[in-house]
Every structure is written in C-alpha cells, then in structure tokens.
Amino acid sequence: MKESPGVVDLLGVLAYAELSAFARMTEDATSLAPTLADRAALSELAVAEYAHFRLLRDRLAELGADPEAAMAPFVEALDSWHALTKPADWLQALVKTYVGDGIALDFYREAAKRLDPSIGSLVDEVLVDEGRSAFAVEQVRAGIEAEPTAGPRLALWARRLVGEALSQGQRVAAARPELALLLVDPGADDQAEISRLFAKLTEEHGKRMAALGL
C-alpha cells in the first residue's frame, strides 16, 4: 500500500473528473436529448457519476486530506477538456460519455492494481457501474444504422476526444510528478513508462470504438 502524496492526487483528479462529468452530462442531456426519456437516461448516468464523486470526496476526507485542495490542481485541465470537446449533437454527447467513462475506468483499474487495498473497495464500487455504458453503445449503434454517414463523423469525433484527453493528461503528468510516479513501476524510466501507459489507454480506447462500430 503506497501512501504517497500521489494517492491524494489520484483521488483528487478522479473526484474532479466525476464532478465535472456529472455537470457536463447533465447539461448535454438537457440541451441535446431528442426525447424526455433519453434526457432521463443520460441524467441517470450523470447522477451515477455524482455518486462516484461522493465516494472519492469522502475517501479523501477519511485520509485527512482536504477534498477541495486535492481537486484544485486538476480543475483547469479537466475544464479545458470539456470546453474543447463540447458535443454538437446527441450522438456526439453519447460517444463522449462512453469514451470519457472508458478512460476513467482504465484509470480506476490502474489505481486498483497499484494501490490495493488502500482504495480497492472504492474502485470496486465504481466498476460495478460499468454496464451502464450499454445505453450509449446501443443508441450510437442504432444512430449509425439509421444514418450511415454518421459513422465516419463520429469516428473523427472520438479521435478528437482521445487526442484532447491525452494532451491534457500529458500536461497533468508534467505538472504533478507524484501522480505520474504512482501510475508507473517504481524505478522504471518514468517518461517511457508514462508513454506506455498512454499507449495502453489508446489501445483500450480502440477496443471501445470497435464496440461502437466505429
């Protein structure tokens, strides 16, 4: 069990990622959903993100950390990501939910591998919700079936989502070396390891795109 400053950083970045995902998904649901039922379905996913935020915030407090201070260093990078990836329509919003959730889950899995049992039970609770993305997958696949030209357009969109995520991620890794060190094997060549982690995230992303039919 590592109890470095990196743990607080990791919980802090995940907490703000969940809080900001909650806000943006709610906004997208409200402004882009084609029906009230769709709006409720995406709002439901947003509320699940808020529940994850609550778990992370409470865990930070249990560790004696100030949750606000732990989140603060990551607000700008995550807000920038959201500002640079504002969906223009409902299918873009769903792809963003799926891609964003997927990248977050990859981070939880890395955390579970390296920090267990410190935050193991928390990660378990978050991963239980994984099936929720089925809603986004079904809707996107149906959308592409109904309008095949949407496929290439959404594939480009997904590429942009990940590109902007990796770019903000590199910024954060450079600014928070403790966090970066937490995610790589001790004693390894940091820069090379971080690059390998990013390559892995990209690979997992590719699998999710295949699930969407993109």
Q: Which residues of 160-169 are buried (b: 16+ CB within 10 A; e: fewer)?
A: ebbebbbebb
Does position 61 interact with a second copy (CB under 8 A)? The reply is: no
The structure tokens listed for 187 are 């004693």
Among 1, 2, 3, 72, binds a second copy (CB under 8 A): 72
By rule CB under 8 A, what count of residues binds a second copy? 28
Work out which of 5, 41, 43, 141 binds a second copy, going by CB under 8 A: 43
Question: Among residues 29 and 165, whose Cβ is nearest to a second copy?
Answer: 29
- Encoded tokens for 51: 């529940």
The residue among 36 and 146 lying less far from a second copy, judged by its C-beta, is 36
- Asked if 23 touches a second copy (CB under 8 A), the answer is yes
Quote the distance between the C-alpha of residue 126 and its chain's center. Answer: 12
Contacts of 195 (CB under 8 A, 6+ apart): none
Among 1, 34, 68, 192, binds a second copy (CB under 8 A): 68
Residues 179-198 that bind a second copy (CB under 8 A): none
| Chain positions contacting a second copy, by CB under 8 A | 16, 19-20, 22-23, 26-27, 29-30, 35-37, 39-40, 43-44, 46-47, 50-51, 53-54, 57, 67-68, 71-72, 75
